Amino acid sequence: MSDSAALDSFLEKWRARWPEWSVAEIFVPAERRERAVAWFALLQEFDDALNIAGDPLPADAKLAWWGEELRGWAARRSRHPLGRRLEPIRAPWEQLAEALPALAPARMPTRDGDAAFASLSAFAEAVVAVEADVLGRAAEPGAVIAHTLAIRLMDVGATAVPYDLGASVHGDPARLRAWADHLRDRGGDLRQGARERRILSSFAFGRLLRHARAGQPAPLPSPPRLLFTAWRAVRGG
């Protein structure tokens, strides 16, 4: 497979996981679209390693590999197809590489919401530092953490909910809804981020709240509703 075909494969894999994006990308300038998708596809690699089911050793090895890869990007050497789009960007890739090991202990349940957010603070700081260069504007770290934990909740279910909610809310569906509401409330001001981040976070929290209400993954809204959600995110509504 050529480098170009391999890159297209990774970008299409992300698009398949986020079909909402095909509706919303009209709000992103054409010259920025592939860069944004490449960046979000990279972050999806880290979400997958964080939310691994079963034996964590392969995911830990994957994080270690990505750490070396990102250090290579800092030195203008890339091996992964995503590097074709991202490595030329002068960004603090080494900072992101140094933050990746924190994802392994972040898989463990935490005592409360504050501990859950603290477990991802270094990772989020590194993400926003790179995103400022990739997308031209940095989101709030708290918004990145809330987004990451929202994906985690949808991926692994009630096992991602902090222990303190188990004492006050009974039953997995109720715990899931309570934690989803908490993440939405702590998501920060999405208007601080680039429009690509605002759009994707709006879709992620929309998915999360539908999932929490249904107790399982729910169908996507209609394209017009998705378009309206994206428009509100771009406008800062």
Range(s) of the domain holding residue 165 = 3-235
Q: Report the amino acid identity of residue 55.
A: D
Number of domains forming the structure of the chain: 1
Burial (CB count within 10 angstroms: exposed 0-12, middle 13-18, buried 19+), residue 120: buried
Q: At 168, which CATH number?
A: 1.10.600.10
pLDDT tens-digit series, residues 161-205: 998 876 655 667 888 888 999 998 887 676 788 999 999 999 999
Enter the pTM of the model: 0.94
Distance (Å, rounded) from C-alpha 91 to C-alpha 212?
36
Token representation of residue 218 = 């729910």
Closest to 231 (Cα-Cα) out of 188, 190, 206, 198 = 198
Q: Which residue has the tokens 């590489």?
A: 97
CA dist 236 and 72 (Å) reads 36
Instruction: Tell me the per-residue pLDDT of 52-110, one tens digit each, with 9 for 90 and over.
Output: 988 999 999 999 999 999 999 999 999 999 999 999 999 999 999 999 999 999 999 99
